[in-house]
Structure 1
């Protein structure tokens, strides 16, 4: 019953309504005519800036892969960590969450303070347009996000969800063409963590961590970020971000950790399209068939060294 309620839309809608009511209540001492202060996570967001940040990071990672393609995996991982530091000022590590019985969590390492509004992760997974079948892979699946326009993102790497992502990736990325999606995010993080703990001989929970530099795209760990609690309040939020083919060069699209379950997004908007189409309003009734939907996680407050990331599953913002 608990899992059913977690996925029951009326229940979640009612929960969201009461949450919003609590957020806008004005305190008794608030002067008449004055609005309550905005929440920290209501700061402006620039989608063009976000796309530029991601493309710059992908370009640096691509350059690293070309220069050190034959380097051993450990060496390549340290190089990717260095790239992440240069571009964003931190790297991510996976380890036991500070929330009891929450499994693994994502930690920011190697920085002093990360400011609000910074990109710290991406939410990978298969994308479903409204009306597409998602029932069977939604059973016992807590990794599905629903976007504001009805698009779903399934970030589960195992079972039916994982098979669907690999199948869609094989459809769009057959041998001989430039890859347009990343599948390295689908690794078994629990296995990797156990393996490192066994090698290092550390059995104390919370000590052993593994870096996200094992991934082609080190930011693709949003599905591991835990939901915040009263003791550990949220410090990041989900942000929808759509990317067109011309906004991310073809040779960099191998770092994108999302894929549509049906249809290749390059079919309707390729780099050769006329620039005159820039001024044509987008028909959102087609749910952006010429876009790739991504969901990034951005900070809502200052985050200090070695702090764990916590999100809120009940909130998401849309900026195209």
Structure 2
């Protein structure tokens, strides 16, 4: 029992703000001048990458195929469009659980490597219950949280909200990231492990807001939706920005390498930690 608790704590502590604050030197945070300068690549490049890849998925002709067939086909399309593909498998880190690896191809610097999927909670929305024993709760610089846990209450909440936002029976977000074969192979960012003394970060998180004019037919591949626990009936997802977090490569990453990030960033000007 103690060994199991210890293993869970080692995975969770990098998400526990008091531990982060008292162990800041151990964790090698990423430091940026301000929230506005925390961009590895321009937002326009992120949008261009997503549009190109998701359009290829939509045109693949696999709309009525099985989930596994879609995953396999879309992974091949990702290799063709992006020059690489990724997959989950046991991490190189001790007690690291599963990690994300470059399965084929070659990742160039400034590439969108993965997307952090999950439910988006605004700062005024409670996250206490979903945060319990949850090592997949990502906090953005502005207090927005993304819950990337794919089991338990988090999974149930996401599935419920995805159905709430459906239009004419069509989902406006992707729910397959909750399975082992997501139709969007990028949607495994929550499994990227924190860097260590042996393995330095080769990607960094970048916040990106999807605008209201993002093609509706491509939203089914976006693995994020808003909780909107206090529904504003005057505003729908059509005229709202949707927060998405992408993982962008900091250097060349070759086939077989595990992807590592740093779990938090120090923003110097406003002294916030995300």
| Same fold by TM-score greater than 0.5 | yes
Counterpart Cα distance in 2 of 1:71 and 1:85? 20
Distance 1:101 1:266, change over 3 A: farther
Distance 1:76 1:178, change over 3 A: closer
Structure 2 unaligned regions, length at least 5: 33-37, 268-274
Q: How far is the alpha carbon of 1:88 from its aligned partner?
A: 0.4
Q: Tell me, what secondary structure is at the counterpart of 2:142?
A: coil
Structure 1 unaligned regions, length at least 5: 25-41, 190-213, 272-289
State the aligned residue count. 252
TM-score by length of 2: 0.81
TM-score by length of 1: 0.70
2:81 aligns with: 87
**Larger Rg, first or second structure (1 or 2):** 1
Q: Tell me, what secondary structure is at the counterpart of 1:109?
A: strand
Q: What is the aligned-residue RMSD (CA, Å)?
A: 3.0
Give the counterpart of 1:48 among 44, 50, 58: 44
Q: How far is the alpha carbon of 1:264 from its aligned partner?
A: 8.1
Q: Tell me, what secondary structure is at the counterpart of 2:89?
A: strand
1:230 aligns with: 197
1:61 aligns with: 57
Which of the two has greater helix per residue? 1
Q: How far is the alpha carbon of 1:79 from its aligned partner?
A: 2.3
Once the two structures are superposed, residues 56-113 of structure 1 have per-residue CA deviations (whole angstroms, 9 ceiling, x without a partner) of: 111110011xx233445555443222211121011112211111222211111221x3
Q: Tell me, what secondary structure is at the counterpart of 1:164?
A: helix
1:30 aligns with: none
CA contact (8 A) 1:43 1:117 kept: no
Q: How far is the alpha carbon of 1:18 from its aligned partner?
A: 8.3
CA contact (8 A) 2:67 2:183 kept: no
Q: How far is the alpha carbon of 1:228 from its aligned partner?
A: 1.5
Counterpart Cα distance in 1 of 2:259 and 2:29? 26
Once the two structures are superposed, residues 134-173 of structure 1 have per-residue CA deviations (whole angstroms, 9 ceiling, x without a partner) of: 1111111110111011100110011111111111112112
Distance 1:265 1:118, change over 3 A: farther
1:278 aligns with: none
